[in-house]
């Protein structure tokens, strides 16, 4: 898995789009020749991958929005999702 530093600023590259489709039952990540279903947690993370917010800022923001979850747990989820997607070229780390 690609390493994800706290100051990295993740961004969906050109050719990767997060979209909502009723007939397909929810949120999807569209990429070259591939389609991934995005679960609720992934959608919340991906919506924040604007290229402006750093990993640390995304985690802080999520911790504010979902007060029940501990920050370390959110951090681990974010790093895992983003690292996995970066390896598949579905996210850019600036």
Q: Which residues bind to other proteins, rule: CB under 8 A?
A: 2, 13-17, 19, 21-24, 28, 30, 32-33, 35, 86-89
Task: Give min distance, CB of 2 to other proteins, in A.
Answer: 5
Where do the H-state alpha helices sit in the chain?
40-47, 55-65, 71-87
Structure tokens at 76: 């681990």
Q: How many helices (H) and strands (E) does the chain have?
A: 3, 5
Whichever of 30 and 57 has its CB closer to other proteins, that residue is 30
- Least distance (Å) between residue 3 CB and other proteins: 10
Distances (CA, A) of 36 to 29, 47, 61: 5, 15, 24
Q: Closer CB to other proteins, residue 71 or residue 89? A: 89
Write down the least CB distance from residue 72 to other proteins, Å.
25
């Amino acid at each position: 898995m690609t390493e994800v530093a706290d100051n990295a600023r993740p961004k969906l590259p050109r050719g990767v789009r997060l979209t909502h489709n009723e007939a397909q039952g929810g949120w999807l990540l569209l990429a070259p020749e591939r389609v991934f279903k995005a679960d609720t947690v992934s959608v919340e993370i991906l919506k924040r991958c604007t290229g402006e917010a750093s990993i640390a800022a995304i985690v802080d923001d999520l911790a504010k929005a979902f007060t029940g979850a501990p920050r370390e747990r959110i951090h681990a989820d974010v790093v895992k999702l983003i690292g996995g997607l970066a390896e598949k070229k579905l996210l850019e780390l600036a």
